[in-house]
Amino acid sequence: MLPFLLLLAKPSLLDFSVEQWKATPEMRVEDAYKWLFHACLGGEHAVTSEAGPRGWMEREWKTLTPPLPHEKEVVPLRPDGKVVRVNLRPYRARGGDQEFLLAVFVASAREFRGDKREFVAHWHALGTRLHRGKIGRLNYPDWVRLDREAKRDGYPAVEHSEAYLAKYRPAYRVVLGSLYP
């Protein structure tokens, strides 16, 4: 019975994330930080009122290109699917409604209760793992640099790396999986 139960065990957030990152060769330490930040804290940092996200969505929606090759509409950020990224290009290409996604994004930000301590714990676990060796383009010296900056500022949200932006042109919203059908 024990081997069967082990098959049911979910991977840790960091193990799950590292597996996902393998499909993202241009991922840098800033992008890993952002992934873990969103996985633990959702998108609440981006919502202070509905007006801000509405304007941001309208501007971004107008400039969307067709989906990138192999770009998935939904990317789980946690092994339990509690928090997901909805990529705007494939969402729009399949006929997704801008107002619906905006409502889900705002509701997710209001409903989700993240824990900064959880984020910092996973971020430090990544640092420990990188101290033992690189993961793709993620390395320990870059982790130390970003950790020093982020710690000084109370571990805020950060932007994607230039390499990630150039290669993947990220356009997504972080939402609760339970609110996204």
144, exposed or middle or buried, with CB in 10 Å at 0-12, 13-18, 19+? middle
pLDDT of residue 113: 86
- The reported pLDDT for the residue numbered 9 is 47
pLDDT profile of the chain (181 residues), mean per 10: 42 93 94 97 66 84 94 96 97 96 92 92 97 97 98 96 96 95 82
Cα 162 from Cα 167, distance rounded (Å): 9
Neighbour-count burial of 181, counting CB atoms closer than 10 A to its CB (0-12 exposed, 13-18 middle, 19+ buried) = exposed
SS3 at position 64: coil
What pLDDT sits at residue 47?
57
Q: In the chain, how many domains are there?
A: 1
Does 73 fall in a domain? yes
Residue 3 forms part of a structural domain: no
Whether 93 is covered by a domain: the verdict is yes
In a domain, 81, yes or no: yes
Edge-first strand order for the sheet with 83-87 is 74-76, 83-87, 172-176
Residue span of the structural domain in which 52 resides: 11-179
Q: Distance between CA 117 and CA 155 in Å, rounded?
A: 10
Element of type H or E holding 15: helix 13-21
Residue 78 lies in a domain: yes
pLDDT at residue 44, rounded to an integer: 65
- With respect to residue 5, please indicate whether it lies within any of the assigned structural domains: no
